[in-house]
Amino acid sequence: MRPGLYAALGLGLASLAACGSPPEPTAVRRGLRDDLAFILRTTDAAISGTDAAALPLERAMSLVEGQLGGGASAGLAAKAQHALTRRLDRADAEAGEGLESLATVLETEVFTDANHQGDGIYTIPASLVCDDGTGAIDAGCADTLASLQLRIVVSGDDDVLHFGLQLGPSHNQPLTLDLRHTELDLGVDLDETSQAIAELAPILGEAAPNLSLAGALHLGLEVLGDAHVGARFGIDRSIAVAFAEPGVALTADSAVRFGSAVADVFSIDLDGAAGRGQVAVALGSTTAHIPGDAADAGLDLDLPGVTTTVDLAAGQPVTFTRVGLGDRSTVLSRAGQPLITVDLNRDLGRRFDATYVIDPVSGVETVTVEPGLDLRISTDHAALGEPAPRFDVTQVSLQADGGGAPALAASTTSNGSEQVQVVSGQLVIATNPAEYGVTVAAGSCLASAEASDATGTWTQWSSITCE
């Protein structure tokens, strides 16, 4: 993950212009050396302390990189990533392994006196992105870089540095970044990105891609304490993305479309010192259109949302709060006809909470849900243009029966097989046709086995006495 993330941050430092004199190069380098290095060093410690996955800071940039198409721009992107990776590896060797090496590269190779053009404007040297690995500069790469008119504009004061990545003759600004001592915020403006692509394509001798980009994203990282960081990703202006083959209308069935509403999509709090973390997801209403072919129209996804908050701490149960899929059905359709419809807790407020516990002695894993779980799925196989299977699972339900919050427990039997016990409540797996379903009462276990006949195989569930 590191090369893509580092390349995105290394080339993506950006900000909006501010009033007053721009900071001198020495002040910019001091901010990178003191503030950015501190934030990235603390992030390394937080990730190590919580054993968490790497933060998703390269997501937005992958979209931007991919929109410039092939030819010279694609070649430049590949060369830039390879060159930056070599620089970061060298910085790792000099300054120590980790995210902090990014600050070293920016300080020593980007925001130098030689690259400063005055008024807070810095050019990106060809030596940074066009090194062919032998110390020589790839001439074609350098020419492409010059055509992009890539520059970084810096403004700010003692409290915050604003960086702005600008492209092309119009100085479109697709990326912004604000850097404070304990916080950085990266912004991606898809409208500016679209304008930059349209302006640069003919300059690079390429056909402008048939696409439309609109909306704005932000990515943030903040130091909250020793080995303690928070990260966030959100949509500031509703996203609308569409692309198609040249000459095809972006509203046509053969175009790809994606949209998502304003939302605080994702946040994560990693406290390495305390060994705990929290992940929150709140994706807003999202739609997508996947093109069809000569035989079938395209598919349309209508996802009302995705929400949950997950809390983790060493030696404590894992808790899931307000797990949901929005306030209405999730539907996959074709030409307006529903193909698959999914409802989560339709009659239970469309949300549930859950707790997951592992007994340290027995190893038994227990999941408790409140007020219950009721997942319903409807599939129209005829509309999908496929034969119906032996049966469909139409409902999975775990609901209370008067004996407390419903719960399941998974354990290993004496012969090494797994069993799932209904600790409280009632588990129902409903099918169409109904004879393949099962109901498991509290105190009993769910068993599954492979059954077969001349027409094929299927899973056969049953309720059994627990071992």
Q: What is the DSSP letter of 131?
A: B
Residue 458's CB is within 10 A of a number of other CB atoms, namely 14
Instruction: Inform me whether the pLDDT recorded for 92 exceeds 50.
Output: no
From CA 192, how far away is CA 180, in angstroms rounded?
A: 24
Give the pLDDT mean for 162-175.
94
Which has the minimum average pLDDT: 67-76, 103-112, 327-336, 457-466?
Answer: 67-76
Tell the residue number behind the tokens 């919580």, with chain if given.
Answer: 50
In this prediction, residue 403 carries a pLDDT of 66
- The structure tokens listed for 60 are 């937005």
Instruction: Inform me whether the pLDDT recorded for 205 exceeds 70.
Output: yes
Residues 6+ apart with CB under 8 A from 280: 264, 266, 267, 268, 308, 309, 310
Half-sphere exposure of 112 (CA within 13 A, CB side): 11
Instruction: Inform me whether the pLDDT recorded for 98 exceeds 80.
Output: no
Instruction: Inform me whether the pLDDT recorded for 230 exceeds 90.
Output: yes
Q: In whole numbers, what is the pLDDT of the chain averaged over residues?
A: 84
pLDDT band per the 50, 70, 90 thresholds, residue 36:
confident
Fill in the amino acid letter for 198: A
Higher pLDDT, 11 or 342: 342
In this prediction, residue 100 carries a pLDDT of 63
Instruction: Report whether 86 contacts 131 (CB < 8 A).
Output: yes
pLDDT band per the 50, 70, 90 thresholds, residue 10:
very low
pLDDT band per the 50, 70, 90 thresholds, residue 308:
very high
Give the pLDDT mean for 154-182.
92
Tens-place pLDDT, residues 339-393: 999 999 999 999 999 999 988 888 889 999 999 999 999 999 999 988 999 999 9
Which has the minimum average pLDDT: 59-73, 176-190, 300-314, 359-373?
Answer: 59-73
Tell the residue number behind the tokens 């992030």, with chain if given.
Answer: 43
Which runs of consecutive H residues, i.e. helices, occur in 211-343?
none
From CA 10, how far away is CA 4, in angstroms rounded?
A: 10
From CA 215, how far away is CA 302, in angstroms rounded?
A: 19
From CA 267, how far away is CA 286, in angstroms rounded?
A: 18
In this prediction, residue 49 carries a pLDDT of 61
Instruction: Report whether 200 contacts 167 (CB < 8 A).
Output: yes
In this prediction, residue 302 carries a pLDDT of 98
Helix (H, G, I), strand (E, B) or coil at 171: coil
Higher pLDDT, 272 or 66: 272
Residue 64's CB is within 10 A of a number of other CB atoms, namely 22
Highest mean pLDDT among 7-11, 80-84, 287-291: 287-291
Which has the minimum average pLDDT: 20-29, 40-49, 207-216?
Answer: 40-49
Instruction: Inform me whether the pLDDT recorded for 4 exceeds 60.
Output: no
Instruction: Inform me whether the pLDDT recorded for 87 exceeds 50.
Output: no
From CA 284, how far away is CA 206, in angstroms rounded?
A: 36
From CA 221, how far away is CA 16, in angstroms rounded?
A: 18
Instruction: Report whether 4 contacts 81 (CB < 8 A).
Output: yes
Instruction: Inform me whether the pLDDT recorded for 275 exceeds 50.
Output: yes
Q: Which of 130, 277, 141 is nearest to 204 (CA)?
A: 141
In this prediction, residue 16 carries a pLDDT of 35
Q: How far is CA 453 from the centre of its chain?
A: 44
In this prediction, residue 134 carries a pLDDT of 81
In this prediction, residue 74 carries a pLDDT of 43
Q: What are phi and psi of 106, to 5 degrees?
A: -65, -40
In this prediction, residue 236 carries a pLDDT of 98
Instruction: Inform me whether the pLDDT recorded for 265 exceeds 90.
Output: yes
In this prediction, residue 76 carries a pLDDT of 42
Fill in the amino acid letter for 357: V
Instruction: Inform me whether the pLDDT recorded for 160 exceeds 60.
Output: yes
Between the alpha carbon of residue 232 and those of residues 369, 386, 388, 459, the distances in Å are: 27, 42, 43, 42
Instruction: Inform me whether the pLDDT recorded for 62 exceeds 80.
Output: no
Residue 5's CB is within 10 A of a number of other CB atoms, namely 18
Which runs of consecutive H residues, i.e. helices, occur in 260-416?
381-384
* Segment (H or E) for 128: helix 126-129
Instruction: Report whether 177 contacts 187 (CB < 8 A).
Output: yes
pLDDT band per the 50, 70, 90 thresholds, residue 50:
low
Instruction: Report whether 289 contacts 256 (CB < 8 A).
Output: yes
Instruction: Inform me whether the pLDDT recorded for 247 exceeds 90.
Output: yes
Give the pLDDT mean for 53-79.
33
Q: Which of 265, 267, 264, 263 is nearest to 229 (CA)?
A: 267
| Burial grade of 169 (CB within 10 A; 0-12, 13-18, 19 or more) | exposed
Give the pLDDT mean for 407-414.
87
In this prediction, residue 99 carries a pLDDT of 57
Between the alpha carbon of residue 17 and those of residues 23, 177, 228, the distances in Å are: 12, 11, 31
Highest mean pLDDT among 54-58, 128-132, 156-160, 352-356: 352-356
Task: Answer positive or negative: Cα dihedral of 223, 224, 225, 231.
Answer: negative
E-state strands within 53-196 = 116-118, 121-123, 151-156, 161-167, 172-179, 183-189
Instruction: Inform me whether the pLDDT recorded for 67 exceeds 80.
Output: no
Q: Which of 194, 128, 156 is nearest to 32 (CA)?
A: 156
- The structure tokens listed for 441 are 């009462």
Higher pLDDT, 343 or 208: 343
Between the alpha carbon of residue 407 and those of residues 58, 255, 322, 437, the distances in Å are: 39, 45, 17, 20
* Segment (H or E) for 88: helix 71-95
Instruction: Inform me whether the pLDDT recorded for 413 exceeds 90.
Output: no
In this prediction, residue 167 carries a pLDDT of 93
